[in-house]
Amino acid sequence: MINHSDLENITLFKTLKPATCQAIAQFAFMRELELGEVLVSEGMLADHCYFLLSGHVRVLRISQEGRLQVLGRFGPGAPLNIIPLLAGESIIQATIETLTPVSVLVLDVHTLNRLLELYPDFSIMLLKIFAERIKNMTNLAADLSFHSVRARLGKFLMEIADQPSPAGGWTQDEIAAQIGTIRDIVGRLLREFETNGLIHRDRQEISLIDRVGLMKIAGQGDS
């Protein structure tokens, strides 16, 4: 059992009432994983959900041909593996792999359902998190409609340049998933950007050299 007062000091749960934190603490437990471990695997039984308290993970799927598709990266505060439980699905649809050492809070499906039924502030917290994800998906859909892949990549590179570098850098598969294209196109455009003196690459780390040039590319539409 977790001390409920400890939950109140976790940023993710600061909006929750003490009674809600106490209910979570009564049934939740902590789990620690090292870099490169798998939290859940695609095809497993979906019977627990997780809240990422520290560290970073990536969510991925593997096609029948063995091709890896990265669906996203998540940091502290992210709820994980909740969608299958909310949708009533018994099978996990994606693998979650750690990019750093992580700490997660674990709830079983029965506790999750009880919290949703009896504690409105818990439900509102989840709604706000998923609303933010939907907003991000809507923005991506707009970018797909109104901007070329070259423009989307230029915009993405400027955005990540202003953020702390994630663990392990960005793979081309992950960049492709973020901007709505495929790995081969990302690789070709990155080589073009580097040849034109816009960026510098060192393995999976990307540094901006010509921000003005990238800004011009990011502002281009489909034309």
Strand partners, 37: none
Q: For residue 194, give every residue at least 6 positions away whose Cβ sits within 8 Å of its Cβ, in sequence order, or none.
A: 200, 201
pLDDT of residue 71: 79
How confident is the model at residue 171, as a pLDDT?
A: 83
% pLDDT > 90, the chain = 44
Domain boundaries along the sequence of the chain: 4-138, 147-218
Round the CA-based radius of gyration of the chain to a whole number and report it. 20
> Which residue's structure tokens are 């003005």?
212
Tens-digit pLDDT profile for residues 169-181: 788 888 887 787 8
Longest CA–CA separation in the chain, Å: 58
Closest CA to 96 of 48, 133, 160: 48
- pLDDT > 70: percent of the chain: 92
Least Cα distance to 184 among 67, 91, 81, 80 occurs for 67
Nearest alpha carbon to residue 49 among 23, 26, 73, 82:
82
Q: Do residues 194 and 171 lie in contact, with contact meaning Cβ atoms separated by under 8 Å?
A: no
Contact between residue 23 and residue 118 where contact means Cβ atoms under 8 Å apart = yes
Beta bridge pairs of residue 74 = 57
Cα separation of 120 and 32, whole Å? 29
CATH number of 4-138: 2.60.120.10
* Nearest residue to 29 via CA among 9, 55, 8, 7: 7
Give the number of other CB atoms < 10 A from CB of residue 201.
13
**Which residue has tokens 């960026």?**
199
pLDDT reading at 200 higher than 80: yes
Q: How far is CA 217 from CA 28, 41, 72, 113, 212, in A?
A: 48, 38, 24, 47, 9
Mind listing the pLDDT tens digit for each residue in 126-175? Answer: 999 889 888 877 877 777 778 889 999 998 898 888 766 665 678 888 88
pLDDT band at 39 (very low <50, low <70, confident <90, very high): very high
Of 191, 187, 189, 212, whose CA–CA distance to 200 is shortest? Answer: 191
Is 147-218 a domain of CATH 1.10.10.10? Answer: yes
C-alpha–C-alpha distance, residues 108 and 46, integer Å:
9
Predicted TM-score (pTM) of the model is 0.74
